[in-house]
């Protein structure tokens, strides 16, 4: 029984509320929106959140986009995945891909809090977190951890479920290819 939370659905926890939460969580000194450079913003402005983080209908099993009113995509109906549910806050595309890249590949650990807030605002994520016995981040290989300096999944998991996160229970037995550029069918955890 697994649920997977992808950085990637938003209960229009209104953009304004998300902005306020980001503001409370962020630095005392306001900065510019990382997307449109509007100032001040923490760290993505209200207009950009409203424009780029609208909740979209997604398959309840794999989080792929589906037509309105469809709950489970054809692929998951034909071949049910081993996951009970998958939640995606946003598509891995403009502008979020750049934010996630800054978080994962440029060592900007400060993105953990805004991305965790974005994920928490996604439909069905809050109930999934409440129902979870444990929230387990996928570990990095020792080499990847040395390169990156932190495990981005562990930072997100601790922010999403501080009392039920355990980053020590899973072990990565073999290094896997970077997900960037991989076809969906080639992505292995």
Q: Closest separation between CB of residue 47 and Zn ion, Å?
A: 5
Q: Closest separation between CB of residue 180 and Zn ion, Å?
A: 22
Give the whole-angstrom CA distance, residue 166 versus residue 137: 8
Q: How many CA atoms lie within 13 A of 122 on its CB side?
A: 28
Residues 65-84: x/- map of binding to Zn ion (CB under 5 A)?
Answer: --------x--x--------
Both structure tokens of 32 = 């510019």
Q: Closest separation between CB of residue 133 and Zn ion, Å?
A: 24
Size of the site for Zn ion (CB under 5 A): 11
Beta strands in 49-130 (DSSP E): 85-88
Q: What interhelical angle do 152-160 and 112-120 show, nearest 10?
A: 50
How far from 145 is each of 23, 140, 175, CA to CA, in Å?
29, 6, 11
DSSP class of residue 139?
Answer: P
Q: What interhelical angle do 112-120 and 96-105 show, nearest 10?
A: 130
- Work out whether 61 is an interface residue with Zn ion (CB under 5 A): yes
- Work out whether 45 is an interface residue with Zn ion (CB under 5 A): yes
Q: What are phi and psi of 29, to 5 degrees?
A: -95, 120
Which among 9-17, 35-43, 90-98, 110-118 is the span making contact with Zn ion, rule CB under 5 A?
Answer: 35-43
* CB closer to Zn ion, 51 vs 164: 51
* CB closer to Zn ion, 33 vs 53: 33
- Residue from the set 59, 112, 117, 135 that interacts with Zn ion by CB under 5 A: 59
Residues in contact with Zn ion by CB under 5 A are 33, 35-36, 38, 45, 48, 59, 61-62, 73, 76
């Amino acid at each position: 029984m697994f649920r997977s939370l992808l950085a990637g659905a938003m209960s229009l926890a209104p953009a304004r509320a998300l902005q306020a939460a980001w503001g409370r969580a962020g630095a005392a000194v306001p900065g510019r929106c990382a997307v449109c450079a509007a100032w001040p913003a923490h760290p993505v402005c209200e207009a950009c959140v409203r424009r780029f983080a609208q909740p979209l209908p997604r398959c309840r099993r794999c989080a792929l986009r589906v037509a309105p009113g469809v709950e489970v995509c054809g692929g998951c109906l034909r071949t049910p995945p081993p996951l009970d549910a998958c939640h995606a806050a946003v598509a891995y595309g403009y502008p979020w891909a750049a934010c996630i890249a800054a978080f994962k590949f440029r060592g900007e650990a400060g993105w953990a809090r805004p991305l965790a807030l974005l994920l928490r605002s996604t439909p069905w994520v809050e109930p999934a977190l409440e129902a979870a016995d444990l929230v387990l981040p996928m570990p990095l290989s020792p080499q990847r951890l040395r390169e990156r300096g932190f495990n981005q999944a562990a930072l997100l998991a601790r922010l999403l479920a501080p009392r039920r996160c355990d980053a020590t229970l899973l072990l990565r037995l073999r290094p896997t290819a970077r997900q960037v550029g991989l076809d969906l069918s080639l992505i292995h955890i």
